[in-house]
Amino acid sequence: MANVKIYTTDFCSYCDIAKRLLEKIEVAYEEINIHGDPAMRDQIEELTGRRDVPQIFINDQYIGDDDSLAALVNSGEIQSLLGSDQPTQVETKSNIEERNVIIIGGGTAGFAAGIYTSRAMLEPLLLIGNALGGQLSLTLDLENYPGYFGTEANEFINGLKQQAEKFGTETRFETVTEVDFKQHPFWVKTYDQEYTAKSVIICTGSSPRTLDIPGESEYGGKGVSYCATCDGFLFRDQRLIVVGGGDAALEEGIFLTKYASEVFVVHRRDQLRASQIMQERAFKNDKIKFIWDTVMEEVVGDEQKVTGTKLRNVKTGETQFFPIDGVFVFIGHNPNNQLFQDVIELDGQGYVIVDRKQQTNIKGVFAAGDIHDHVFRQAITAGGAGAAAGIMAEKFVAELENRSYPAEISTN
């Protein structure tokens, strides 16, 4: 029998895809999880020239990642590598899994919906996507979630996942690629699997717009932030830049003056987009200074933290290095609605429209968290909405199956 080894880490959707493919072709494998093991990562780099996972070996021969595995399976070449005479059985027709409730998105709203629907014995499936935690994955600390006395956002989100799983939520690192809500049960497709569900809860969140400049992603969590409420306190008596000229930039900039010694608002024009009242508040604040007609071109640091930025005046073309301790970017958010355009009703800004019971315009499809809420955008508000969506999904499925449910909550 062939010796198949697959190197993986925790929270790796591509690793799950590769493992499922091996299972589909009924090949036994040894999984080596290198999570938190830099020495193993170095070793893999030595063997493969790559630091990412999954990486797969058959009889000590390196064959590549999940894509390489899929190509070998599809071409049939895998057979000779496995030393097998038997044609490899690959299921060409996908098995459609039938579920009660599918939750799309692994942030606070999604896990709250998972906790409620699993406690209702609905065995929900939560499709996390590639990354755990939604907006919380962008921040280090979480101190404002009532009842949570830890401080680490990462620990909090792992706790939510465990709590949801404890009650029977099945979580998978799969990214949804397509949905069809015209049919019922609803149809949900990921890269390699199809599902139907009696009810769907959309918790895909929103993503802060990024500047897309050198150093920005490298120093994410090391001085570059998209959430003043989450990270502001880390910058006591330090100098900060806020990028943007809208209400969010000024509101968050004013908030940051509680901690920072100075806040420089860097705006690409000489006029703010923010409302008059917010402008007046910012102009009155002694700690806030404006750098007009200026764009940020690079975030610079010493590998551990941000130390400065490169700024360019768009009118004069003059560039300067500007020493700074932190950069907060508030240039708007984009709801993660790509799957739902022309599928459910969105508002003018692209957020999913829900009623007070988290119901979208399609009965049985609910939404919770930043995908519909562009006002509060807090973990606690997303969690509350997720819980409400979970309760409503439970009610919807119960009605569908003519089961009783507390009468005071109606889906109408």
Site membership for ligand NDP, residue 159 (CB under 6 A): no
Q: For residue 60, indicate whether it is catalytic.
A: no
Give the nearest distance from C-beta 378 to ligand NDP in angstroms: 13
Between 157 and 249, CB nearer to ligand NDP: 249
At residue 234, the 3 state secondary structure works out as helix
Q: For residue 227, indicate whether it is catalytic.
A: yes
Site membership for ligand NDP, residue 245 (CB under 6 A): yes
Cα torsion at 114, 117, 118, 121 (round to 10°)?
-170
Site membership for ligand NDP, residue 373 (CB under 6 A): no
Site membership for ligand NDP, residue 138 (CB under 6 A): no
Which residue, 350, 286, 306, 122, is CA-closest to 217? 306
Q: What is the CA radius of gyration of the chain?
A: 24
Copy the structure tokens of residue 286. Answer: 């002694």
Residue nearest to ligand NDP (CB): 246
Site membership for ligand NDP, residue 251 (CB under 6 A): yes
Site membership for ligand NDP, residue 247 (CB under 6 A): yes
Strand ranges inside 20-60, DSSP E: 30-33, 55-58
Q: Which of 5, 119, 268, 312 binds ligand NDP (CB under 6 A)?
A: 268
Per-residue x/- track, 171-210, ligand NDP (CB under 6 A): --------------------------------------x-
Number of residues near ligand NDP (by CB under 6 A): 17
Q: 378 near 143, Cβ under 8 Å?
A: no
Site membership for ligand NDP, residue 243 (CB under 6 A): yes
Q: What's CA 373's distance to the chain center, in Å?
A: 16
Q: 146 near 156, Cβ under 8 Å?
A: no
Give the nearest distance from C-beta 267 to ligand NDP in angstroms: 6
Please name every residue paired with 308 in a beta bridge, in sequence order, or none if there are none: 300, 323
**Distance (Å, rounded) from C-alpha 24 to C-alpha 240?**
52
Catalytic positions, written as ranges: 227, 230-231
Which residues are at the interface with ligand NDP (CB under 6 A)?
Answer: 209, 211, 243-249, 251, 268-269, 273, 295, 330-332
